[in-house]
Amino acid sequence: MINVIAVICAYLIGSIPSGLWIGKIFYKTDIREFGSGNLGATNTFRVLGKKAGMVVTIMDILKGTVATILPIFPFFSDTIVHPLILGAIAAVGHMFPIFAGFRGGKAVATSGGVLLGYSWPFFIILIIGFFISLKLTKIVSLSSMVVSVIAVIYSIIYWLLTGDYALFILVLILATFIFYRHKSNIKRIKEGTEPKVKWL
pLDDT digits (tens, 9 = 90+) for 39-48: 888 889 889 9
What residue type is 154 in one-letter code?
Y
Angstrom distance (rounded) from CA 174 to CA 154: 14
The answer to the question of residue 112 being in a domain is yes
| pLDDT of residue 172 exceeding 80 | yes
The answer to the question of residue 117 being in a domain is yes
Torsion over CA: 89, 93, 96, 102 (sign): positive
The answer to the question of residue 200 being in a domain is no
The answer to the question of residue 167 being in a domain is yes
The answer to the question of residue 199 being in a domain is no
Give the percent of the chain with pLDDT over 90. Answer: 76
The answer to the question of residue 9 being in a domain is yes
Are the C-beta atoms of residues 64 and 90 closer than 8 Å to each other? yes
- Identify the domain containing residue 156 by its residue range: 2-191
167 alpha-carbon distance from chain centroid = 16
Residue-by-residue DSSP string for 89-119: HHHHHHHS-GGGTT-----HHHHHHHHHHH-
Angstrom distance (rounded) from CA 199 to CA 54: 13
pTM of the model: 0.88
Domain count, the chain: 1
The answer to the question of residue 196 being in a domain is no
Confidence of residue 186 (pLDDT cuts 50, 70, 90): very high
